[in-house]
A and B are shown apart, each in its own frame.
Chain A
Amino acid sequence: DAGVTQSPTHLIKTRGQQVTLRCSPKSGHDTVSWYQQALGQGPQFIFQYYEEEERQRGNFPDRFSGHQFPNYSSELNVNALLLGDSALYLCASSPIDSPTEQYFGPGTRLTVT
């Protein structure tokens, strides 16, 4: 049983560019959450998707957007990248009957230069 997978593992972008990160949830999970973890900090909630809709959103600007596909996989898009967007981006999936039981992927390390 594959766990949560994320791609790519690492990414280097230039300030002002756009980036798309991808996540495949654990088998049997239909809810996907995204978190940003800056160096030396705890993860911060970006948003959560269920039934292809954004259900909850954290305190992040509109430059951060997402999508969920019918197979429950998800994408995180960040536009107009800033240096401060450099972080580890974590995806977590959970079953709908237990939304707090979140299983995390290995993350995508984004570096903005």
Chain B
Amino acid sequence: AQSVTQLGSHVSVSEGALVLLRCNYSSSVPPYLFWYVQYPNQGLQLLLKYTSAATLVKGINDFEAEFKKSETSFHLTKPSAHMSDAAEYFCAVSDGNQGGKLIFGQGTELSVKP
């Protein structure tokens, strides 16, 4: 069975500071990994995805994530936080088989202080 654990339900950073959101996964097969962002009262927007190519994945809005198999981690980073980055972030895993069911973590709420 696959699962995702997001460490920290709430993260607060200052504008311009580094953003680090942590995600650890469990999977018995090579995983496909995703980060999604959700703004209030909206659906989910795909930030980036890892599908067994390069381990460092670049996404939209200067976000990136690194797949570390030895640590079963897929942490999301951004060098400099903007006020507009305040939102809920979800890490998700899929086994990539037919169907592509996504299993989500509980989410991390990112707050950005001026």
Binding site for B on A (CB under 8 A): 4, 31, 33, 35, 40-45, 48, 55-56, 58, 90, 92, 94, 98-107
Is the Cβ of B101 less than 8 Å from the Cβ of A43? no
Nearest opposing residue in chain B for A47, CB measure: B101
**Chain A residues, Cβ within 8 Å of B42:** 106-107
Give A87 to B49 CA distance when docked, in angstroms. 26
Is the Cβ of A102 less than 8 Å from the Cβ of B100? yes
**Chain B residues, Cβ within 8 Å of A107:** 42-43
Is the Cβ of B51 less than 8 Å from the Cβ of A100? yes
Is the Cβ of A104 less than 8 Å from the Cβ of B43? yes
**Chain A residues, Cβ within 8 Å of B90:** 42-43
Is the Cβ of B49 less than 8 Å from the Cβ of A100? yes
Q: Is B26 an interface residue (CB 8 A)?
A: no
Give A102 to B96 CA distance when docked, in angstroms. 12
Give A45 to B104 CA distance when docked, in angstroms. 9
Q: Is B84 an interface residue (CB 8 A)?
A: no
Min Cβ gap A34→B in Å is: 11
Is the Cβ of B44 less than 8 Å from the Cβ of A58? no
Q: Is B63 an interface residue (CB 8 A)?
A: no
Q: 16 A-B Cβ contacts within 8 A?
A: A4-B43, A33-B100, A33-B102, A35-B102, A41-B106, A42-B106, A43-B44, A43-B104, A45-B101, A45-B102, A48-B101, A58-B101, A100-B100, A102-B46, A102-B100, A104-B44
**Chain A residues, Cβ within 8 Å of B12:** none
Is the Cβ of A100 less than 8 Å from the Cβ of B43? no
Is the Cβ of A106 less than 8 Å from the Cβ of B43? yes
Is the Cβ of A100 less than 8 Å from the Cβ of B96? yes
Q: Is B45 an interface residue (CB 8 A)?
A: yes
Give A56 to B44 CA distance when docked, in angstroms. 21
- Other than the known A56-B101, A100-B96, A102-B102, what 19 A-B pairs have Cβ atoms closer than 8 Å? A4-B43, A33-B100, A40-B107, A42-B4, A42-B107, A43-B44, A43-B90, A45-B103, A48-B101, A55-B98, A56-B99, A92-B44, A92-B102, A100-B34, A102-B46, A102-B100, A104-B36, A105-B43, A106-B42
